[in-house]
A and B are shown apart, each in its own frame.
Chain A
Amino acid sequence: MHILPIFKRELRAYFASSIAYVVLGIFALISGYFFYILVYSFHLDSLRATMSRMMPQGLNLTELVLRPFFRNSSVTLLFLLPVVTMRLFAEEKRVGTAELLFTYPVRDIEVLLGKFLAALILSIGMVASLLPSLVILAFIGPIEWGPVATGLFGLLFQAAAFIALGTLASSMTENQIVAAISAFGALLILWVIGWVGNLAGPPFSTVITHISVIDHLDSFAKGVIESKDLIYYMNFTILFSFLALRVLESKRWRG
């Protein structure tokens, strides 16, 4: 199998081109900012609750900090991952290395998987950068570790789905900007489509809500791994990877 050399080269290229540092840095910065805001407003809320002699037990860290924190992180991923995936094929096509690469005895699927895994490792790094915030949270108050684990797990599945779509976009063009914008646009549409879910009538509203790419993270953030959400992200990943593979293969008969 030739997945490993492709994967290693891609990962090295991420760090050599400083994309990795920029993306990791910005993701850590933004999620840190969200974390600070959420903890601060939680602090204000609990202060207000004590003053009005309400029971402070009504305020829950998981509910008020953890869930919005994961949701915000997943939106940040939606913004940043198209930048991670845009170069995967577009750059090789523009520079011409794709031509040489495909004259080596490698299968398209090996190239695709190698590149996909490199982007996935980078996104694991991004998700891992949330850990310090979560540890700090544990010092602030008692938190449930179940939702933390499932939330992180859900973010990874979501990242895989975003990467698959981004890879497809990158395989269709040799312009990295076009790849990034189209992947970002598609993901954004797949997110905001959920907002009209409540406006549409009953049969459509369930379908539309099911399509929405961010909403499926909610149950993960609550500490529940629901098979329908897991399957949604897996199907999403497989579908777009398969389409990317078809695009790669199409050059054999299209010329």
Chain B
Amino acid sequence: MIEVESLTKYYGPVQALADVSFTIEKGEVVGFLGPNGAGKTTTIKILTGFLPATSGRARVAGYDVFERPLEVKRRIGYLPENVPFYPEMRVRAYLDFVASLKGLVGKERKKRVEKVMERCRVADMANKLIGFLSRGYKQRVGLAQALVNDPEVLIFDEPTVGLDPTQIIEIRSLIRELSGARTVFLSTHILSEASALCQRVIIINQGRIVAMDTSENLAGQLQKTARLLVKVEGPKETVQEGLRCLTGVVRVQEKAFVEGIGSYLIETEKTEEIRKALARAVVSNGWGLLELRPADLTLEEVFIKLVSEEQP
């Protein structure tokens, strides 16, 4: 549904995108992840036909973004990062205006506007001026304008930025609910959002794609070692020494030591199962084993690893 081929973009001498390529299939929900300034918004602005690329190609729904912009624009619903509004318009009139620009006419237009207000839960604010709405409601009106013509492709740029936690949960559940059979491409710098909403994640940093996979696979790929968190009662140095001596242990890291109880993070070879040996060793030394659990690499850590590895 979205095909991007070696897209490059320069703002004057500054390179914003370097040879970005990816494909998104119909019906997929894909997260576009990266720190601020990585090139997420630039990519999205190119896809929506607002900005030209310096080189490369982009196709949405089978149409080239540069050659057939109107065809592309007919098929996408776009929610920009900070949704800009005409503050003097009322919600219903605004959505009607957007619907008419998107080519809906007559009764069909009225019906679509009412329906989308219902779905995005803004119907109770239909006659309010947009300028007076709260941030959360504005974001929902933004969603409604993207959805009003029932587009095949939805593109969201940081859909939850600047919202409070309740509003974030609301918008996320709306996105999940509304995505349905549509193709959704959403950018975010929040990893939990990507893993919560998306089947697949594309990670971009400094204008380059650094990883592209499902979020589980990404975490798995990078995890060359397994990690265990143990809490042991006993003298710090001897316990650390004892843990280090176990076969398969790569590194022991002290996390905390309070009142004779130490927490240690142990990195082990992925292939070795050392939990039994570890428990035996602790008990035979007369220390107390209080906790033993695997500590997975979170997506957050994967992200930081990927991003920092890429830097020169």
A-side residues, CB < 8 A to B, are 2, 4-6, 8-9, 12-13, 16-17, 95-97, 99-107, 251-255
Contacts and interface: CB of A to CB of B under 8 A. Distances in A.
Contacts of A17: 88
Contacts of B121: none
Nearest to A9: B97
Given A104-B102, A105-B103, A97 B89 contact: no
* Interface SS of chain A: helix
Given A104-B101, A255-B11, 14 more contacts: A2-B101, A4-B100, A5-B100, A9-B86, A13-B88, A96-B82, A97-B86, A100-B145, A103-B49, A104-B98, A104-B102, A105-B70, A107-B70, A255-B9
A3 B108 CA distance: 19
Contacts of B45: 99
Given A5-B100, A255-B9, A105 B73 contact: yes
B50 A103 contact: yes
Contact of A95 (B84, B101, B103): B84
B84 A105 contact: no
B7 to A, nearest CB: 13
Nearest first, the 7 A-B pairs at minimum CB distance are: A96-B84, A16-B88, A105-B73, A5-B100, A103-B48, A104-B101, A97-B84
Interface in B54-94: 54, 70, 73-74, 76, 78, 80, 82-86, 88-89, 93
A2 B84 contact: no
Contacts of A5: 97, 100-101
Contacts of B93: 12
B52 interface: yes
A4 B73 CA distance: 19
A100 B9 contact: no
B161 interface: no
B304 interface: no
A252 B66 CA distance: 9
Contacts of B84: 95-97, 99-100
B44 to A, nearest CB: 10
Nearest to B46: A255
Given A99-B84, A105-B74, A105-B102, A252 B52 contact: yes
A103 B9 CA distance: 19
Contacts of A101: 101
A24 to B, nearest CB: 18
Contact of A100 (B52, B74, B78, B103): B78
Interface string B232-262: 0000000000000000000000000000000
Contacts of B97: 5, 8-9
Contacts of A106: 101
Interface string B189-207: 0000000000000000000
Interface in B3-26: 9, 11
Contacts of B169: none
B51 interface: yes
Contacts of A6: 101
B100 A2 contact: yes
Contacts of B101: 2, 5-6, 101, 104-106
B76 A255 contact: no
B102 A12 contact: no
A93 to B, nearest CB: 10
A235 to B, nearest CB: 30
Contacts of A104: 73, 98, 101-102
Contacts of B80: 96, 99-100
Nearest to B47: A103
A101 B50 CA distance: 10
A68 to B, nearest CB: 39
B301 to A, nearest CB: 35
26 contacts: A2-B100, A5-B101, A9-B97, A13-B86, A13-B88, A17-B88, A95-B84, A95-B85, A95-B86, A96-B82, A97-B86, A99-B45, A100-B80, A102-B49, A103-B48, A103-B49, A103-B76, A104-B98, A104-B101, A104-B102, A105-B101, A105-B103, A107-B70, A251-B51, A255-B52, A255-B54
Contacts of A96: 80, 82, 84
A248 to B, nearest CB: 12
B60 to A, nearest CB: 11
A102 B102 contact: no
